[in-house]
Structure 1
Amino acid sequence: MDPILLRVKRQARPDAEPYWEEFKIPYRPGHNVHSLLMEVQLRPVRHDGTPTTPVVWDASCLEEVCGSCTMFVNGQVRQACSALVDSLARPIVLEPMKKFPVVRDLAVDRSRMFESLKRVRAWVPIDGTYDLGPGPRLTEATQQFAYALSRCMTCGCCLEACPQYNDHSAFIGPAAIGQAVLKNLHPSGPLTKEERTAELMGVGGIVDCGNAQNCVLVCPKEVPLTRAIGDMGRQATVKFFRDLFRG
């Protein structure tokens, strides 16, 4: 088999100009994009034979569970660990995600995603709940919906594909909305449901969703994001009228 030609968009620092480098890597059955980058790390030599520095990227689980190795592979946002070389067109082109600040090369800062999770209080409260007794029984349909939402790995693919999520918009994005719905479904979710729903009724919340539905097309875990957004919309409507008549 011919060697694999790899083109990588690189950037030395957050404020530096990006540039391209090419690498030629011997073919080996079972290669994925992660293993190609490991080959470059072991032998950081450009296609023309000149030395360079190893490419920087994020990785952890190597089984499409953590989401840290998300990048653009041949123009499609996905995880490097599950991008098998035999299924990819050549040359293989790697770029960092575009909706997040580049730290270096293919590594980006996804802090904005985690700050969004804080905004919607995407956790289960335990303080003061120990004496509330057993929680309500959940129907199988609710359990299945909650499980599907729980598969989110905060990779950022949905935000890359969302036209409403950008530097000029306050939209919180589909991932955080999905996790807010998940926590509301939990037996102790009603304890903080009002706060989550109120946060998503404000600036950057569900009203900023343009219903492009790109998020569900690119999600590697097939999280039902559009259903979650619709569900949160119904919860927000109920809260609006409750607040209206309470006042």
Structure 2
Amino acid sequence: MKPLARSARTAACEDRSRKPRPVGSVTRGTTNPNRLRRVDNWIAVHLGGLLRRADDPLVVDLGYGATPVTAVELRSRLAAVRPDVRVVGLEIDPARVAAAAPAADPPGLEFRRGGFELAGLRPVVVRAMNVLRQYDESEVDEAWSVMRQRLAPGGVLVEGTCDELGRLASWVALDAAGPRSLTLAASLSTLDTPGTLAERLPKALIHHNVPGEPVHALLEALDEAWRANAPYSTFGPRQRWRRSVEAVRAAGWPVLDRPARWRLGELTVAWAAVSPP
């Protein structure tokens, strides 16, 4: 990935009377139906209250890819929380924006050209999945900062990555002050070992999965608990995962979510526990 051609901070502060120039580079565009179902459902549950309280329930889907399917799905899933939610899909490639146009359903769903500057919008939620994966780690903080500056008051950025089928995923939730949590999510029916999630850590963490780093310690603890709770696989992978998360929490990790989410193959911990030194 090439470095940003100009300062993203400068771009984010452009005169609002001018149309912001997209900041960033075109992604590979890989997408599949239901690929982002796990993160969408997490947003609906954990950020549903934020959407319901918002005067303008605007959500940005940044970098939706070569087809608009995941943006369409996001709008559908969040409409169950806030029927008048507005989703704007942003892509830097004009050809992708044009190709997505037939899927638009104003005012609930539209597509525009834009990047990290969020096309000058002030969304209450931003979903940016599989966007920063192609960037250098050194560029992550700046990209995060630019997007966070564009959030509506109280808004949240959800940034992360997943595999092609959405069976393994992880994401960071950030607000105006910075990152606040990390979520790991897996399809338990196909999960071999929690350590497999290392392949899909967010860009800010993926190169820190080495001994001595906090995120490596978390995955090691989860793997160890998974092995220790192998007998519970008799009752299904959900029970095994739940017991594993309970063990991780008992070991002192700041687990933020509850058993209802664990049953879905999720684990959310405070960002401070995994933040790189």
Give the TM-score, by structure 1 length: 0.26
Q: Which has the higher helix share?
A: 2
Q: Greater strand share, 1 or 2? A: 2
Larger radius of gyration: 1
TM-score by length of 2: 0.24
